[in-house]
Every structure is written in structure tokens, then in C-alpha cells.
């Protein structure tokens, strides 16, 4: 599949009006996407656990315009309130996807969106938000094209979501999603995410992710600026190669169930992501003192107890604490006793691996 395959090749009989709702989850990368080429093509492959509790629900109402006009026509609300400051981002998204959904300008769209997690939690909603919106928009095309099969629908939804926010292409399916061409996964693609195509060991089923909300404020540097800085980063090429290597290693680990090596890769990836931020030009840092307190506590606890708790980070100060189902009771007790004290207002979110977006 290439970009061209996502351009509709027939004249569609589009519905006059309708309404559709999708709930799309967030995801947490194990091998991180950091750095991109033009058109949201990733500089390196990535892989993520799809989450379950952290999700965006979007309802799209669509109605054919009475008079054709040349622009995009839409209203946008977030948590029940009109949000005009979100509109430019959506216009950019519409401009990028119009070739693939050529009917967009024929409709007036009403987009109503809600997150399952608090707005000011420091959790990025761009992955779940763009995935939910892409699914809603593509549902208009699917209504008009009865021949569109489920696999194509998911691929195109992931492709469209990617044009909104790279990591959003990993928020359509579950439970593990891979994105970015790499030799160890022949089906992999730069233009959409795929469900991880191999069997995974029982140890990686039902993995838990407790998200510790260390800092709920706005990040000092956005992900798009961070991606851009990789164009001039002195270690970029070596880092991109490392992501390919780590994916290949994860493939062996997922099949053997070797959690110890899984931990080494996942924690190494998180620290490499932040090391890239700290060694670029200009350099910046998104971790906070409490991020490091938590990491050190996790290391001490793991050393003392020999269990399998580990952490990962996204582009922010919050810590994702990952642990297997078989150890969930003792590790959750540890989190409550030792780690929650480092969260802003003691706030955290209990999440786990999920199985992808759902039409409601």
C-alpha cells in the first residue's frame, strides 16, 4: 500500500447527512518515534502498547452544504465548550487529508470531543484525538463505499491519523502496534501503523501502565519542535539505527517472554529520547526532579525485590510505570506507598494494554 492507494478511485454516492461516534485510545511507545521527514514520515520505526483507559471520544455530525463554498466548514467543541483556538490545527489536518477524503469541503462538520483523562493532566491527547477524528471522517466514506473492507478501513484510518499527529497512527488498533519501515517486520510501513504481526508471549498480555502525573502544566518545548531539532542533531543517524536494532531485539523478546531484556530496551529507549532532547542544539529538558526520584525508586525496588517493574517516558515529565499482570498486586502496592508522593496533587491514572478504537 502506498499513499496513492488511499485516494478514492470512484465517484461516491455520499450521504446527505449523518452522525458517527468513535472512541480511540492513547498509546505508549516502547521504541520511540523522534525525528521525521516531510509529510509525517518517521525518521525511524517505533512500536507501542495501545492503552485502554486514556482515550478520546469524538462525535462527528455531517451535513451537505446547501451552497458550495470553497473552504472547510466546521464547528469544534472540546468537553462541551466551543474551542476556536483548536481550529487552526484541524484546518492543517484537513488540508493534509483532503486529497484522500476529497468530499470534505462538501459538508458542514460538527466535531464534539471528550477526553477520558483530565484536560490539564499533561497527557498529550493528540494521538487519541487525531485517531478518533480520522475514524469519524473515514466513516463518511465507508457509508458511501460498501465494498471497503475492515482491513482497508483500519489502514486508511491509521494513514489519515498519521497526517494529524505521527503517533496517532498507532491508536487505531491494539494491542501492540508498529509503525515505520524496518527490515525485521516485512509488513511494516512508513505511511500507517500495523498491528504487530507476530504472536507474543503470555508475559506481555495484559501489561499494566500506571501513569504518574508529575507535572500537569504545559510542556516548555512541543513535540514538533523536538522532532525538527533531530534534523540537525549530531547523534541523529546513530539514534535512528538504534531504533531499528531495538525493534529487532524486541521481536525476539516478545516471542520468548524475556522481560528482563524487555526492561533494558524500554528504559533505554525512554532515556535515549530524553538524551536526544538534552544533547541537541538548542538543548532542552522535559524531565522534572520528581521524574528522577521516581526512576531511582523504581530501580531500587527492582534491585531489592527482583521483580519486573520498569518505566518509560513520553515527551514530558510524567512517568509511565509498566508491569506484568502476574506481579500487579505487589507492584501497585509499591506505587501507592513509594511513588504517588511524587505526583502533582497525588494524581495518577491506572491504565493497561487495550485493544484499539471502538465505534460507539
Stretch that binds ligand PMV, among 32-40, 53-61, 299-307, 324-332 (CB under 6 A): 32-40
Give the torsion through C-alpha atoms of 226, 354, 134, 180, to 10 deg: 50
Closest CB to ligand PMV among 89 and 105? 89
Binding-site member from 50, 56, 139, 165 for ligand PMV (CB under 6 A): 165
Helices (H), the chain: 87-97, 126-144, 150-164, 223-229, 236-256, 259-278, 289-305, 328-334
Coil/strand/helix, residue 8: coil
Coil/strand/helix, residue 302: helix
Rounded distance between C-alpha atoms, residue 334 and residue 320, angstroms: 14
Stretch that binds ligand PMV, among 25-33, 83-91, 151-159, 264-272 (CB under 6 A): 25-33
Number of Cβ atoms within 10 Å of the Cβ of 314: 24
96: which DSSP letter? H
Answer yes or no: are the C-beta atoms of 28 and 51 closer than 8 Å: yes
Grid coordinates of 198: 507476530
Rounded distance between C-alpha atoms, residue 48 and residue 298, angstroms: 21
Q: β-pairing, 81-82 with 208-212?
A: unpaired
95-154 positions binding ligand PMV, by CB under 6 A: 126
Stretch that binds ligand PMV, among 29-37, 135-143, 184-192, 211-219 (CB under 6 A): 29-37
Binding-site member from 167, 171, 290, 291 for ligand PMV (CB under 6 A): 167
Closest CB to ligand PMV among 34 and 311? 34
Answer yes or no: are the C-beta atoms of 31 and 242 closer than 8 Å: no
Rounded distance between C-alpha atoms, residue 1 and residue 191, angstroms: 9
Rounded distance between C-alpha atoms, residue 143 and residue 12, angstroms: 10
Closest C-alpha among 211, 307, 206, 212 to residue 259: 307
Binding-site member from 46, 56, 290, 291 for ligand PMV (CB under 6 A): 46
Stretch that binds ligand PMV, among 61-69, 161-169, 190-198, 210-218 (CB under 6 A): 161-169
Grid coordinates of 315: 515527551
Q: Is 25 in the site for ligand PMV (CB under 6 A)?
A: no
Q: In angstroms, what is the minimal distance from the CB of 12 to ligand PMV?
A: 30
Binding-site member from 190, 314, 344, 351 for ligand PMV (CB under 6 A): 314
Q: Is 223 in the site for ligand PMV (CB under 6 A)?
A: yes
Say how many Å lie between the first and final Cα of the chain, rounded: 28
Strand order in the sheet with 319-323: 310-313, 319-323, 208-212, 348-352
Q: Is 32 in the site for ligand PMV (CB under 6 A)?
A: yes
Closest CB to ligand PMV among 131 and 140? 131
**Residue 302 CB partners (closer than 8 Å, separation 6+):** 263, 308, 309, 310
Closest CB to ligand PMV among 25 and 166? 166
Q: Is 171 in the site for ligand PMV (CB under 6 A)?
A: no
Stretch that binds ligand PMV, among 162-170, 260-268, 296-304, 341-349 (CB under 6 A): 162-170
Q: Per-residue x/- marks for ligand PMV, 261-280, CB under 6 A? A: ------------x-------
Closest CB to ligand PMV among 57 and 165? 165
Closest CB to ligand PMV among 167 and 203? 167
Closest CB to ligand PMV among 34 and 78? 34
Stretch that binds ligand PMV, among 1-9, 31-39, 75-83, 109-117 (CB under 6 A): 31-39
Closest CB to ligand PMV among 277 and 331? 277
| Residues found near ligand PMV in the complex (CB under 6 A) | 29, 32-34, 46, 126, 165-167, 223, 227, 273, 314-315
Amino acid at each position: 500500500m502506498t499513499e496513492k492507494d488511499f485516494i478514492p478511485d470512484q465517484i461516491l454516492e455520499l450521504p446527505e447527512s449523518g452522525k458517527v461516534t468513535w472512541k480511540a485510545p492513547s498509546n505508549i511507545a516502547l521504541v520511540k518515534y523522534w525525528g521525521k521527514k516531510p509529510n509525517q514520515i518517521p525518521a525511524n520505526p517505533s512500536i507501542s502498547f495501545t492503552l485502554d483507559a486514556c482515550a478520546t471520544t469524538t462525535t462527528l455530525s455531517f451535513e451537505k452544504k446547501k451552497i458550495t463554498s470553497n473552504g472547510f466548514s466546521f464547528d469544534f467543541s472540546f468537553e462541551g465548550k466551543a474551542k476556536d483556538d483548536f481550529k487552526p490545527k484541524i484546518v492543517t489536518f484537513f488540508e493534509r487529508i483532503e486529497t484522500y477524503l476529497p468530499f470534505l469541503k462538501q459538508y458542514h462538520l460538527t466535531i464534539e470531543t471528550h477526553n477520558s483523562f483530565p484536560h490539564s493532566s499533561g497527557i498529550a491527547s493528540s494521538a487519541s484525538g487525531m485517531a478518533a477524528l480520522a475514524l469519524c471522517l473515514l466513516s463518511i466514506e465507508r457509508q458511501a463505499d460498501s465494498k471497503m473492507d475492515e482491513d482497508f478501513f483500519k489502514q486508511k484510518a491509521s494513514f489519515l491519523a498519521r497526517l494529524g499527529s505521527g503517533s496517532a497512527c498507532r491508536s487505531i488498533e491494539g494491542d501492540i502496534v508498529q509503525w515505520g519501515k524496518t527490515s525485521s517486520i516485512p509488513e511494516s510501513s512508513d505511511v500507517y501503523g500495523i498491528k504487530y504481526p507476530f504472536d507474543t508471549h503470555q508475559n506481555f498480555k495484559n501489561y499494566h501502565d500506571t501513569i504518574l502525573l508529575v507535572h500537569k502544566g504545559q510542556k516548555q518545548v512541543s513535540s514538533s519542535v523536538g522532532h525538527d531539532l533531530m534534523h540537525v542533531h549530531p547523534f541523529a543517524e546513530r539514534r535512528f539505527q538504534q531504533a531499528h536494532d531495538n525493534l529487532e531485539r524486541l521481536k525476539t523478546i516478545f516471542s520468548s517472554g524475556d522481560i528482563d531484556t524487555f526492561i533494558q530496551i524500554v528504559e533505554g529507549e525512554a532515556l535515549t529520547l530524553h538524551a536526544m532532547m538534552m544533547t541537541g542544539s538548542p538543548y532542552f529538558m522535559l524531565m522534572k526532579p520528581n521524574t528522577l526520584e521516581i526512576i531511582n525508586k523504581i530501580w531500587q525496588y527492582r534491585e531489592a525485590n527482583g521483580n519486573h517493574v520498569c518505566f518509560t517516558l513520553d515527551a514530558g515529565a510524567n512517568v509511565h510505570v509498566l508491569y506484568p499482570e502476574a506481579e500487579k498486586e505487589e507492584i501497585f502496592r509499591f506505587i501507592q506507598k513509594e511513588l504517588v508522593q511524587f505526583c502533582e496533587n497525588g494524581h495518577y491514572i491506572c491504565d493497561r494494554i487495550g485493544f484499539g478504537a471502538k465505534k460507539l
